[in-house]
């Protein structure tokens, strides 16, 4: 009976310590309780070059905060990383200009960013022409 009581006491102590640790971790994520509700956030400024990890500054009344953010490097968007768009498929290649385009409609504006409702994106046409596989070509020649 004494061994059971000792096991129950140890189990209760472990649960109490782990619940306190979980509470401390939850409180740590709040980073200071601010009663300010109208935060104004600036755009993400990369730490080096023109893309990658950086910081975003926000102000509310007399309070200022900085958040970590990331500017995508895969495509330099003239309309910013805080504006998310749903794009159509790429159109056909324009032989005169050598580019193809597509349009996108605003899906989401992050951090109260001022975004255009529709945007146009262009990219150069591919120089490669998709060819049939060799096996198919050989079969077609016979």
Percent of the chain with pLDDT strictly greater than 70: 68
Determine contact, residues 103/121, Cβ cutoff 8 Å. yes
pTM over 0.85: no
Averaged pLDDT for residues 28-38: 61
Tokens 């910013």 correspond to 80
- Tens of pLDDT, residue by residue over 122-136, are 899 987 655 555 555
- Here the tokens at position 5 are 């009581």
Which of 117, 116, 107, 108 is CA-nearest to residue 86? 107
Contact 81, 71 (CB under 8 A): yes
What pLDDT, in 10s, does the model give residues 57-110? 999 988 999 999 888 776 556 777 788 899 999 999 998 999 999 999 999 988
CA distance 54 to 66: 10
């Amino acid at each position: 009976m004494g061994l059971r009581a000792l096991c129950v006491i140890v189990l209760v102590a472990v649960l109490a310590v782990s619940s306190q640790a979980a509470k401390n971790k939850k409180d740590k994520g709040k980073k200071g309780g601010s009663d300010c509700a109208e935060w104004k956030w600036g755009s993400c400024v990369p730490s080096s070059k023109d893309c990658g990890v950086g910081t975003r500054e926000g102000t509310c009344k007399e309070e200022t905060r900085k958040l970590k953010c990331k500017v995508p490097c895969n495509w330099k968007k003239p309309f910013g990383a805080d504006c998310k768009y749903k794009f159509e498929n790429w159109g056909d290649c324009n032989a005169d200009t050598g580019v193809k385009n597509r349009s996108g409609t605003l899906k989401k504006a992050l951090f109260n960013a001022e975004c255009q409702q529709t945007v146009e994106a262009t990219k150069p046409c591919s120089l490669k022409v998709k060819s049939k596989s060799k096996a198919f070509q050989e079969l077609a020649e016979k």
